[in-house]
Amino acid sequence: NHPAYDKQVRATLANPSISLLAYGHVQDQSTGNAIRYNPNAITDRLQSTIVSYFSNPPLTADGQVRWLVLLGYRQAGKSTAPELCAYAKTAYTPGWDHVCIADTRNRAEYLHGRVHFCHNRWPEAIRSPTHGGREVRQLTFDPAVGGKMRVLSGESGAVGIGQSPDSFHGSEIPFWGDAERQFSLIFPSMINRDHSLMLLEATPWEADSWWHDRCTEARYGDGRWVYAFFPFWDGLLNRRVWRP
């Protein structure tokens, strides 16, 4: 009788713009307290853009979901927000496979810890059932209700091999061990999947880098890429009162 087994309920809860805003929790950056997730709490548009992408992604002329390249500032939640959105998507979509690759193993685990933080505070009455056991680098849901979330480290040279996720989040791309080679292992498994979601994010980096090339391609709308740039004044935590 668990409501998450109802197809219509799952379809609603899988939409981050509905379920994440209603039930998600994060640790507030300014106070350290657990609070209800609000994409506009510390950013004007950055986090709400991420929620919008996972909830209602733009399409190409061929009907394929576009892939978001997000260039932003630090301490904006641009790594946490995609994982929270992916949590809602994965928890209530049977068979959904989400992969996150962060720059280091420690940061990958730290980032995934925020997903568990949210999951543990999700209302128990509608929380997606998970398999027993303590999971650290992944979260596996009952296959009748949801899918699986995994985090990997960009320190590994062949981290992308064998992956074929429904949604993929690449965090702090310039700091991966070899982003160009690693992404080349992921790209073929996703390019022909019309529904696949991809979000790559980082701060600005050197002009001759692979990350800079992705930003340039996305800025001009090449292929499936779509671009979003947020300067530091989008962040509410960066604001101070000016002395007269």
pLDDT in tens, 177-199: 888 888 888 888 888 889 999 99
Output the six-digit token pair for 162: 């064998």
Instruction: Record the pTM.
Output: 0.93
Contact call for residues 230 and 76 (beta carbons, < 8 A): yes
User: pLDDT higher for 201 or 105?
Assistant: 201
Side-by-side strand order, sheet with 197-202: 138-140, 148-153, 97-102, 167-171, 197-202, 67-71, 225-229
- Helix or strand (DSSP H, E) at 206: none
CA 76 to chain CA centroid, nearest Å: 13
pLDDT, the chain, mean: 90
Query: Quick one: average pLDDT of 43-70?
Result: 97
